[in-house]
Amino acid sequence: MYQFIGFNVIFKRIKAIKFMMKDKSVPLRKKLLIVLGIIYLVSPIDLIPPVLFPIAWMDDLVVWIWILWHLKDVLDKYWVGEKTEDLSKKYKDKNIIDDATYEVNVHDNKESD
């Protein structure tokens, strides 16, 4: 399902970039995309010349909308703030449940012919 991209969503994704860049689990290629987008934004080289002032920022805007759309799944994880603590590493290979007994009951509810 397509999500409406309003200013609120765009601003939240822009704010999430800071937290995404700090996360070591994010692939380097995704971080590089952000860095290259920032370089393109501040560089004097543009696809649309600055002489056409009102529409000169359109290429920068299109590039950043594409970057935000391309990274939307990653950035949406960081809307609230920093990533929650990953406890899988802390408890890896540890038996934290002692003296527990359990039983698995499987019921087959298929009707016989």
Each residue's pLDDT expressed in tens, for the chain with a length of 113 residues: 445 567 777 888 888 999 899 999 999 999 999 999 999 888 877 777 777 777 878 888 888 889 999 998 888 888 764 456 666 677 777 777 777 777 778 877 665 54
Burial (Cβ within 10 Å: 0-12, 13-18, ≥19) of residue 43: exposed
Q: Are 67 and 36 in contact (CB under 8 A)?
A: no
The residue type found at 64 is W
